[in-house]
């Protein structure tokens, strides 16, 4: 089992079905474990950077599902910490929340909490601390990724790690306003056909998210998270709070919304905490 890192919980890997009950690992499990470590390589440096500033890391994982990511992060990083660091997993399905709570108790992972909340509800929930260091949202469907961004911006999280999932809202607005756009010029050809509308809408959604984050002073990097959960949605967005100039990205965001006929979506990508300088 050379693929497993020293100190990893074998019981956890069995519970996540990476290892069989007799400690075997098939090719699919090896690939899954490789994917986990690939993602962890992006997040571990962020956790260590937070440690350089202060102890007691507070991490919130939105749309947690079975809390796969939270358990792996806790096992590889948090369980060795002798402080008040904590992982909060946010999930709407009560049965998954209950199952995760039972597993955390079984494994002896006291620094994990599982909250039966929507991402939107969590923004104002008093069940979460006021200060959050890192926010993750992997494949949070529909508007949950955008709600996770709103949560992170309100908490002024130092780092935001997103693997966006399906989001049809932009594509719907593009389709609705297609007739007006046709009169403006040839650019509409990029999304005139329904298949292109869907794919272009997905691409534009993530571009707008990146500009939104930059308009709040974050430095944004975009890369590919190959093979995560065997999904086609492999775009990894990492935002770091650097208090960068905000005026230019805010102007670009507004210009892009106008160019594509998406002005009605301004409230989705701007929040009251965006204060571009003059």
> Is there a contact between 215 and 276 (Cβ–Cβ < 8 Å)?
yes
pLDDT score of 233: 65
pLDDT at 253 over 60: yes
pLDDT score of 20: 79
| pLDDT tens, residue by residue, 140-177 | 777 789 999 999 999 999 999 998 877 788 999 999 98
| pLDDT tens, residue by residue, 211-237 | 999 999 999 999 988 655 445 567 899
Comma-separated ranges of CATH 3.40.50.150 domains in the chain: 1-165
State the average pLDDT over residues 246-260: 94
Fold that domain 1-165 belongs to in CATH: Rossmann fold (3.40.50)
| pLDDT tens, residue by residue, 93-131 | 999 999 999 999 999 999 999 999 999 999 999 999 999
> In which residue are the tokens 């998406």 written?
262
């Amino acid at each position: 089992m050379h693929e497993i890192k020293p100190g990893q919980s074998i019981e956890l890997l069995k519970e996540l079905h990476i290892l069989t009950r007799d400690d075997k690992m098939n090719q699919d499990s090896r690939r899954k474990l490789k994917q986990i470590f690939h993602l962890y390589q992006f997040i571990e440096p962020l956790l260590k950077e937070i440690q350089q500033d202060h102890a007691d890391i507070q991490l919130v994982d939105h749309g947690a599902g079975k809390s796969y990511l939270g358990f792996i992060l806790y096992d590889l990083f948090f369980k060795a910490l002798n402080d008040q660091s904590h992982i909060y997993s946010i999930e709407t399905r009560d049965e998954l929340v209950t199952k995760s709570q039972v597993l955390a108790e079984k494994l002896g992972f006291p620094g994990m909490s599982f909250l039966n909340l929507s991402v939107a509800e969590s923004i104002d929930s008093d069940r979460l601390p006021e200060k959050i260091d890192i926010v993750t949202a992997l494949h949070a469907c529909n508007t949950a990724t955008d709600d996770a961004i709103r949560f992170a911006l309100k908490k002024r999280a130092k780092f935001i790690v997103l693997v966006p999932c399906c989001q049809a809202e932009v594509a719907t607005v593009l389709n609705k306003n297609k007739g007006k756009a046709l009169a403006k010029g040839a650019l509409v050809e990029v999304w005139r056909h329904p298949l292109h509308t869907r794919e272009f809408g997905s691409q534009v959604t993530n571009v707008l998210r990146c500009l939104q984050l930059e308009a709040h002073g974050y430095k944004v990097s975009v890369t590919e998270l190959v093979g995560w959960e065997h999904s086609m949605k492999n775009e990894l967005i990492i935002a770091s709070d650097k208090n960068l100039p905000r005026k230019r990205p805010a102007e670009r965001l507004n210009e892009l919304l106008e160019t594509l006929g998406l002005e009605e979506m301004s409230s989705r990508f701007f929040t009251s905490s965006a204060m571009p300088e003059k």
